[in-house]
Each structure stands twice: as structure tokens, then as C-alpha cells.
Amino acid sequence: MSADGAAHAFVDANILLRLFTGKPDEQARAARDLMGRADAGDVVLHVCPLVVAEVVWVLTSVYDQPVAAVCRVLTDFLASGGLVVEEGLQVAVALRDMERLGVDFVDGYLAARAGLGGICVASFDRDFDRLGAERLPLG
């Protein structure tokens, strides 16, 4: 329990996947209940960028969901009450660029993180040029 009286917990990708897919029923119900507790202020759920990356990958690869739909659902969800999104600005930019430019979430996140930190990116991936990231010259 923290000073604000609410329990704090990092939320794992499997909770979010149950919430978004509704499967299996019992776990999906428990995930919805947890979100209700977060909305009520009884618990604060922390979402880290690695979890977002995993959710993006599973929804687009395993569940074959369209990238645009995944980006919109996650963007709306991450704006919900009761959540603390670690590096939320970078996550939001990565989701936006993933949908807008068709880049991978991790590339968008890395470009956003580098840009906000004034650091360049070392990569052979040309998507970083599309993302406007400063690149470290490579041999």
C-alpha cells in the first residue's frame, strides 16, 4: 500500500491480452474487474513499454489484428484512469508512428526515446530515417 492508500502493481501483458480478447472468459472477467478497481482508485496499475511491445506483437501476430486497430485500442486504453504508463510520451509516439508510418513499435519507441534524450540511433534499419531519428554513421 502506498501513501495514496491504493495498492500499486505492474500489469503483465497477459492481463491486457485477456482484457482485449475476452478469452478465456474467467480470466477476461478477472481482468475487467481489475480495471474496475483501477478506475475506482483502489489500485494503480503501472504499464511498462516492454509490456506494450508484447501486447502489440501478440495482437498483431498471434491474433492477426490490424495494426491500426491495435494502435487505436492501446492508445485509448493507455489514456484510462488508474494507470501509470511508464515513459508514456514515448509509448504514445511509438503507437502513433506505428499506425501512421507502418514501423514496428520498438523502432518507434526507440526513435522517440532517442529524440527526447538528444541521443542518436545506431541501426541499419531505414525506418529510423522515416521516423526522423538522428543516426550514428556506420562504416
Structural domains of the chain, with CATH: 1-86 (3.40.50.1010), 89-139 (no CATH)
- Mean pLDDT score of the chain, rounded to an integer? 95
Average pLDDT in the 19-32 region? 97
Average pLDDT in the 10-17 region? 98
- Tens digits of per-residue pLDDT, 37-85? 999 999 999 999 999 999 999 999 999 999 999 999 999 999 999 999 9
Distances in Å between the Cα of 16 and the Cα atoms of 19, 29, 40, 56 are: 5, 12, 18, 10
pTM assigned to the model? 0.92
